[in-house]
A and B are shown apart, each in its own frame.
Chain A
Amino acid sequence: MLVIDNVTKSYGSVAALQGVSLELKAGEFFGLLGPNGAGKSTLMALIAGLRRPDSGDIRLDGQALTPDNLRSRNKLGFVPQTIALYEDLTAEENLRIFGRLYGLRGALLQERIDQALVTAHLQDRRRHYVKTFSGGMQRRLNIVAALLHRPKLLLCDEPTVGVDPQSRNAIFEFLQTLNSEGLAVIYSTHYMEEAAKLCSRIAIIDHGRLLAIGTLPQLMTRLPFRESLRIEGANLSRDSLAPLLSFGELTSDADAHVLTLHASTHLSDVFREAESAQLPTSSFQLTRPDLEDLFLHLTGKSLRDS
């Protein structure tokens, strides 16, 4: 559905995107993960047709996405990072404006507005000014405002920045529901938990380059390390842990032992053997590599520190 082919974009001497290529299928929930300044918003802006790439090509269903091509815009919905709503207007007035910009009129527009307000759980607040809404309510309205024209692809540029956990979860559910109904979503974030939770495929981006792309398990295979068990207990000797050596490699330090599991190992087998050997399984801590580890591995720096 969406094809991004070797796109570059610079702002003066700063290269915001360098040779970015990816494809998106209909109905996908695609994550764009990277730190602030990685190039996520620039890529979103190019896909939304707000800017023109210096080189390369972006096409949606074969149509070029450029600032000049307005025809393809009806297939896109764009949720900006900021709450892009008119605060001094009511929820309904905001939706009416954005609906009209996409060419909706009359009964159809009213129907879509009503549906959007129900979806955002704001039907009782339709005539309230947006400035009186909580942050979560504004975020929900911010999202449904991009859906009135029934786009095929929704671009969410860090839609949960500054949102409390409860509202964030509500937004996740909301987006997952939309996605389950067939809407393709590109979701940019610098929160790895969000990408891991929501996205069927993830692209990791830093300094304008796509470092990795794939499903979460596919990405994890790029890590040279695997799941491990941290076994704490000052009185446990390496000999006492001998029954577990067949499941992985054991390393020890002053505080604990770490059993790095073989790829083929099933955790249930490890715990069964440990209980047989009367080892204190309650002190076992499982450590799984995550996107943070992957990012650290790919860039040499922590995602949160970037």
Chain B
Amino acid sequence: MNPILTLFLKDIAHFRRDRTSLLLTFVVPAVLIYIFGNVFGVNRESTGPVGIPLAVVNQAAGAKSADAIITALQKEKTFRLITTSRDANGTDVPLTEEKVRSLFRENRIRFALIFPPDTESDDTFGLKVKYLNNPRNDIETQTVNGILQKTIFMAAPSVLMDSLRKRATQAIGAAGTESFYRSIARSVGQSFNTDSEKIFDEMMRGDILTASSSSADKPDGGTAPADFFDRIIKIDSEQVSGKQVKNAAATRSVGGWAVMFMLFSVSGAATSLFEEKKAGLFRRILAAPVRRSHILWSKYLFCTVLGIVQLAALFVAGKLLFRIDITSNLANLILICLAASSTCTAFGMLLASIARSPAAASGIATFLILTMSALGGAWFPISLMPDFIQSLSKLTIVYWAMEGFLQVLWANCSFRDLLPYLGVLVGIAAVINAISVWRFNRGEMFD
């Protein structure tokens, strides 16, 4: 047989027996393609994000424009509207601005639309809307802003024409208005040989004016200039969180990337247990007055410290290069670094305890880290993913560590606000460590 073919077949045989290579070649791309596909909606009939929480407070009782916009938003699949909250008695009550702001603080929402009492005014043409947002994720915020603006601009003009008619009636009086409409209706009827009375009735109801503002006249339709809508719809935008951040882009992304890289390095360090086992060092060490737990805890300590040092280096570099503010909430930053690092270390130890070889550990690590990073929001905002993936996100270390970093660096949170994130990370670490210890006691690492 040709030597090239012989050696080629040898490589095929090796590859077929190498589970790590098989995992990295087939499973990892399949999972990542699935996640990417869901993010970009390639598997859905219509693309775009679905179900992003949007709080709506309607303080403008009876304002048609507010009702129209809310109805349009409810039809928009991008948003999941939150209009009520549960009070102490467990009763659903309409959302208030105060409640919305508390939801922002708790990071339960990142977007809210408030229709103030003067959403519509008899004195002015147009409408006023207050838009609260927490742009902690740039992609998500840009997406929401665009879709929100489109929806408002499509829903509002019909009611704005109502407003215009009211103002005209106010200015020239009911009799004058009626005379004006009747004159126009007569002229139209004569010119087009139609029923002028019917036209008059429609004009009085506002139907004709409404019909004139078709969807083609909207900003995205391209026939009406966007600044026209900007003038008649006044959106007061307020950034609720992260106003103090100097470099928004760097501050937003640093947490996710930091966690991903830390997972790689800490996993590598944890799997060095295999090298020590192979060298027979554990036999020598355990023949001394040393327990297995001493070896495991020393490795745990080392990897955690390594993770913290890596994070410290990364944040210092971020401060020097991108002006990321790491000092104003330093104590909480240290706490979240500690929690994230110890949880990532627990992940590395788990890999070492379940894998049978360094190669297997490396393969599993690559697969899990990339998957967790994609699912956890290190690459894309998880709000752009389907609901079930968003549920899976909350099972990943990356999600909780990233959220914790954003709470500290973006929201400048208090220790109390950070506590849930610390608790979840420490809880994950405790569960993973319990599994690892169980596996180490039954595995072959120390035999």
* Interface residues in chain A, defined as those with a beta carbon under 8 Å from any beta carbon in chain B: 45, 48-51, 67, 70-71, 73-74, 76-78, 80-87, 98, 101-103, 145-146, 155
Contact = CB atoms under 8 A, between A and B. Distances in A.
Nearest to A142: B284
B287 interface: yes
Contacts of B287: 48-50, 73, 76-78, 146, 155
Contacts, number: 56
A101 B281 CA distance: 13
13 contacts: A50-B287, A70-B291, A73-B287, A73-B288, A82-B279, A83-B279, A84-B280, A84-B283, A85-B279, A85-B281, A101-B290, A103-B289, A146-B287
B285 interface: yes
A84 B281 contact: yes
Interface of B: 279-281, 283-291, 447
A175 B26 CA distance: 55
Contacts of A86: 279, 281
Given A70-B291, A101-B290, A45 B283 contact: yes
A101 B285 contact: yes
Nearest to A101: B288
Contacts of A71: 289
Contacts of A82: 279-280
A70 B280 contact: no
A50 B286 contact: yes
A73 B291 CA distance: 11
Contacts of B290: 70, 101
Contacts of A51: 447
Contact of B280 (A73, A77, A83): A83
A191 B288 CA distance: 28
Nearest to A78: B287
| A74, A80, A98: residue with the most chain B Cβ atoms closer than 10 Å | A80
Nearest to B283: A80
B332 to A, nearest CB: 36
| B281, B290, B447: residue with the most chain A Cβ atoms closer than 10 Å | B281
A77 B288 CA distance: 8
A82 B291 CA distance: 20
B289 A74 contact: yes
Contacts of B291: 67, 70
A51 B290 CA distance: 13
A16 to B, nearest CB: 12
A78 B284 contact: yes
Nearest to B284: A84
